[in-house]
């Protein structure tokens, strides 16, 4: 068992170092990358601590103890901040950010550092399992609950931002952040299981000697997943009015301002102009069509067009544009001019830029796959 754990930890450390190297060498020096670098540095020390504990390397345990002991109080806020940093401008992100790291700072100053100093002065040798059970099992329960709370907040935040993306982009393939949802789900499951084991150990006073290592193995898998996608993830540019805090009453008033000040006649006229542009100019054939590009064609503001779609017509920009694209695909399938085209070739002609999204959207709109629809004619 020790040999297997040793191999897994070495692989985990190697993967983390490689990811850090790629992040540092990345030409795209943006805040999301810096946040990932901080996160991976701490996760590297966690793996090093487990490796040192497995081989009783006292000096490595001492060096890596602080990052290891505090990571649980840092990982939740960092993931939350990472998601925000993908969508918000840096100046908007700095506001209220420090507050998220207060628990980490308190734990570091009043618990983690004093504990390390105490052990160094007393010249005791760290034994993770005994130390963990005697000193920090209750703290670990709280820190796990704290991380789960931030995973919940991150889920809500990601859901809001993905909704905002559908209000601004007609294609999401190159901007897809669905992988973050999977990462949060996986992290939530691992931490929940870890918390349940901790509660069992606490209630029945029974430390599981393999528990910490099982958790770190799961963590290594999540690190690999985060690194694979995180290295290539770029910022997603969205208009400020789409990503304002939904909980603010002032914001809610601002979001309905453009409609409340418009008469039914004005809204009907704007809707008519939108439909005329979509029917006559076919802007949806542009795979890179965005809300502001369409607004300029009408012409109106992106804010007013968004309000019209979401509040008056009750449809997202993404959905209405792709509905028109599906209609265009159906027309071309029925046209002799396109009989030698593949279904995917027709889809690209109509503004789709991915086979997966084309098949998914077409099936959603028609109830049939593209090939089933063609065969039914």
β-partners of residue 169 are: 290
Decide if pLDDT at 213 tops 80: no
**The pLDDT value given to residue 241:** 79
Angle (nearest 5°) at CA 268 between 262 and 274: 110
- Euclidean distance between CA atoms 235 and 345, whole angstroms: 30
Handedness of CA 186, 189, 194, 197 (dihedral sign): negative
State what percent of residues in the chain have pLDDT above 70.
88
Q: Which of 30-44, 205-219, 325-339 has the lowest mean pLDDT?
A: 205-219
Category of 233 on φ-ψ map: left (φ > 0), alpha (ψ -120 to 50) or beta? beta
Cβ 255 vs Cβ 303: under 8 Å: no
Going by C-alpha positions, the residue among 162, 223, 157, 227 that lies closest to residue 190 is 223
**The pLDDT value given to residue 128:** 44
- CA atoms in the 13 A half-sphere facing the CB of 103: 18
**The pLDDT value given to residue 133:** 45
**The pLDDT value given to residue 309:** 92
Cβ 318 vs Cβ 166: under 8 Å: yes
**The pLDDT value given to residue 26:** 87
**The pLDDT value given to residue 135:** 53
- Summarised one tens digit per residue, pLDDT across range 133-184 is 445 667 778 889 999 999 999 999 999 999 999 999 998 877 888 899 999 9
β-partners of residue 290 are: 169
Decide if pLDDT at 251 tops 90: no
**The pLDDT value given to residue 208:** 57
**The pLDDT value given to residue 246:** 47
H helices within 136-288, ranges in order?
137-166, 178-204, 211-230, 249-260, 264-280
Cβ 171 vs Cβ 354: under 8 Å: yes
Q: Which domains does the chain have, with CATH numbers?
A: 2-238 (1.20.1070.10), 249-375 (1.10.10.60)
């Amino acid at each position: 068992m020790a040999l297997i754990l040793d191999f897994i930890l070495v692989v985990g450390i190697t993967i983390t170092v490689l990811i850090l190297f790629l992040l540092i060498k990345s030409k795209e020096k943006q805040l999301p990358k810096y946040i990932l670098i901080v996160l991976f540095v701490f996760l590297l020390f966690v793996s090093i601590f487990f490796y040192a504990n497995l081989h009783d390397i006292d000096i490595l345990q001492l060096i890596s103890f602080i990052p290891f002991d505090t990571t649980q109080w840092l990982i939740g806020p960092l993931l939350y901040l990472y998601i925000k940093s993908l969508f918000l401008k840096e100046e908007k992100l700095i506001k209220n950010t420090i507050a998220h790291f207060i628990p980490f700072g308190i734990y570091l100053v009043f618990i983690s550092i004093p504990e390390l100093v105490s052990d160094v002065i007393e010249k005791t040798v760290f034994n993770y399992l005994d130390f963990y059970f005697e000193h920090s099992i209750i703290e670990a329960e709280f820190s796990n609950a704290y991380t789960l709370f931030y995973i919940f907040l991150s889920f809500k935040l990601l859901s809001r931002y993905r909704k905002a993306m559908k209000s601004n982009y007609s294609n999401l393939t190159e901007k897809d952040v669905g992988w973050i949802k999977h990462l949060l789900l996986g992290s939530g499951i691992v931490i929940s299981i870890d918390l349940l084991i901790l509660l069992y150990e606490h209630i029945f006073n029974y430390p599981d000697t393999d528990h910490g290592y099982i958790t770190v193995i799961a963590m290594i898998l999540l690190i690999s997943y985060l690194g694979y996608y995180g290295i290539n993830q770029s910022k997603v540019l969205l208009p400020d009015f789409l990503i304002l805090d939904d909980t603010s009453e002032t914001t809610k008033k601002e979001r309905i301002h453009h409609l409340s000040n418009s008469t039914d006649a004005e809204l009907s006229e704007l809707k008519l102009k939108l439909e005329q542009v979509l029917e006559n100019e076919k802007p949806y054939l542009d795979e890179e069509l965005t809300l502001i590009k369409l607004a300029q064609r009408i012409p109106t503001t992106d804010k007013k067009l968004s309000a019209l779609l979401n509040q008056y017509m009750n449809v997202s920009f993404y959905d209405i544009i792709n509905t028109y694209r599906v209609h265009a695909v159906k027309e071309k399938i029925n046209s002799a001019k396109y009989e030698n085209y593949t279904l995917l070739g027709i889809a690209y002609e109509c503004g789709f830029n991915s086979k997966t999204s084309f098949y998914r959207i077409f099936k959603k709109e028609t109830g049939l796959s593209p090939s089933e629809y063609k065969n039914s004619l």
